[in-house]
Amino acid sequence: MSRTTEDGFGRDAPRLSVVGLGPGDGRYLTPGARRLIDRCSLLIGSARQLACFPDFPGEKRTFGPSLAALADWLDAHAELTTVVLASGDPMLYGIGDYLARRMGAENLHIEPGISAVQYLFSRLRLPMNEVYLASSHGRAPDFDFLLSHPKVAMVTDQHIGPHEIAREILARARPRVMIIGENLSYPDERIHRLPPERVARHYAMNVVVILDAR
């Protein structure tokens, strides 16, 4: 018989949860995420993420040197009710996939969040239907493959960001327009719609959407 009650978690909060925070601004934190954070005794995240919960009464820990070290630490502290914070949605280029595989999917709860990608499409009033989702965060994308799709959304990092993506488009002479969403949901959010030749060298934390310009 299912242990689930109307709050979705059964009588007890799950021991280990990976909780999506949404794009950043607290308005996009879901009630489910809030409830898990309120019920846990240990919160793990980046310094920036932890700072979003100044009144949290339990223990806070920043991520250690690696995901493997974090997983070992979680194994050794299985008695604690722990929430690991993830930006956006934990299962879109987030920590959820690694922890589900490493800890065993049945040993953790994943609480979805609003991805920065989803947020940008809503701001653009553009359907996400048929979008190809990709990331340059810590990896080198195959741009020949990516640019074979008419609608691509990418999370990026400081090594391969809008400027490098624009250069890859120009090198292939593809008719594309780029939309760059910086600091999405924060007060300094900026959204630029540009042809690749006009993309600047530096942007703050961003999501890039690449659309066929024809």
Residues that bind ligand SAM (CB under 6 A): 23-24, 86-89, 92-94, 115-117, 137, 155-157, 181, 183-185, 205-207
Nearest approach, Cβ of residue 89 and ligand SAM (Å): 4
Q: Give me the torsion for CA of 47, 118, 169, 211, rounded to 10°.
A: -160
Of 48 and 77, which has the nearer Cβ to ligand SAM? 48
Which residue's C-beta sits nearest to ligand SAM? 88
The residue among 82 and 87 lying less far from ligand SAM, judged by its C-beta, is 87
Q: Nearest approach, Cβ of 5 to ligand SAM (angstroms)? A: 28
Q: In whole angstroms, how close is the CB of 36 to ligand SAM at the nearest point?
A: 17
Nearest C-alpha neighbor of 114 from the set 27, 180, 182: 27
Main-chain phi, psi angles of 108, to 5 degrees: -145, 155
Cα angle 40, 42, 48; round to 5: 110
CB of 6 to ligand SAM, least distance (A): 27
We find the least distance from the C-beta atom of residue 114 to ligand SAM, in angstroms, to be 8
> How many residues would you count in the chain?
214
Please say which residue, 82 or 115, places its beta carbon nearer to ligand SAM. Answer: 115
Count the Cβ atoms, other than its own, within 10 Å of residue 187: 6
Nearer to ligand SAM, 169 or 180 (CB): 180
CB of 13: closest distance to ligand SAM in angstroms? 22
Dihedral sign from CA coordinates of 82, 83, 84, 90: positive
Identify which of residues 23 and 32 has a Cβ nearer to ligand SAM in the complex. Answer: 23
- Torsion of the alpha carbons at 99, 105, 109 and 112, rounded to the nearest 10: 70
Q: Under 8 Å CB-to-CB from 204, ≥6 apart: which residues? A: 182, 183, 188, 190
Between 80 and 91, CB nearer to ligand SAM = 91
Across the strands, what pairs with 134?
A: 154
